[in-house]
Amino acid sequence: MRILIVILLLSISFLAGGCASRKVKDVSYIPSSGNPVKDTPKLNIFMPGRSKEKLPVLIFVHGGNWNTGSKDTYGFYGRNFARKGVVTVIPDYTLSPQADYNDMAKEIAAAIEWTKQNIGKYNGDPDNIFVTGHSAGGHLVALAVMNPKYGIDPMAISGIILNDAAGLDMKNYLEDNPPTAENDYLATWTNNPKKWQDASPIYYLNDKTPPFLVYVGDKTYESIKVANQRFLKDLKKYQPKTDIIHVNKKHVPMIVQYFWPWSSRFKETINFMQQHK
């Protein structure tokens, strides 16, 4: 029985990419004010077990409608990418109603800046950083990189990967669906239309925007389909060859698919990273 278990574990390891991964847990990425706060968001780092070379870096931001979720749920994502030679950073961020979209984007920008300054200590290449996110996480990474007020140089980001991203055009959505207390949307977006535009990555597309890889589930929410189509239409002014990759899945399975190390998404993502390093 023990031999069968060992064979199974070795098989899983082989399928996952043939090498182990290492995890560094709960690293502080927000500059200390001298009075550490227990609930200050932290990040996890996943690295290939044996590599000594500088490797590409992927920052993944989780979704959860801006009011739920945790970095610790997504260890499978970090481990599977690390086993394929990608240093993966997964930050937490303060959720609504304790924070609004602006607070969250500031924290994600801080996580990106921390990665830029420190990832070399973890075998990551600071000049080869990609950002990605599912659902609300896709919105936050795009906003943090694209809205200049967050201080991230878009030229320092090698690419942005959107996985069934929500919130790409919150102005358009909230004009038709004004925020209420439901889902903490009033706390997240406020009732100020000027902030709805400020929160929408679509309004910051330009010729310096990093290259995009965009996934949308065929069975996802209609609001996500509409926003991604609007975003792609404007993106094509600057990146005419970019198209949405449609996947025959609902919204949650769009991230769950990364649990399986043989998913085509890994090969597609790594190919994209190799093309734009």
Contact 172, 197 (CB under 8 A): no
What pLDDT shows up at residue 31? 77
Fold of 19-31+40-275: Rossmann fold (3.40.50)
Query: Dihedral of CA 124/109/62/270: which sign?
Result: negative
Residue 34: band (very low, low, confident or very high) from pLDDT cuts 50, 70, 90: very low
Reply yes or no on whether the pLDDT at 269 is more than 50.
Answer: yes
Residue 13: band (very low, low, confident or very high) from pLDDT cuts 50, 70, 90: very low
Residue 49: band (very low, low, confident or very high) from pLDDT cuts 50, 70, 90: confident
Query: Dihedral of CA 193/197/198/199: which sign?
Result: positive
Contact 141, 59 (CB under 8 A): yes
What pLDDT shows up at residue 39? 75
Percentage of the chain beyond pLDDT 70 is 90
Reply yes or no on whether the pLDDT at 176 is more than 80.
Answer: yes
- 55: buried, middle or exposed (CB in 10 Å: 19+, 13-18, 0-12)? buried
Reply yes or no on whether the pLDDT at 148 is more than 50.
Answer: yes
pLDDT in tens, 226-251: 999 999 999 999 999 999 999 999 99
What pLDDT shows up at residue 6? 30
Eight-class DSSP state of 75: H
Residue 1: band (very low, low, confident or very high) from pLDDT cuts 50, 70, 90: very low
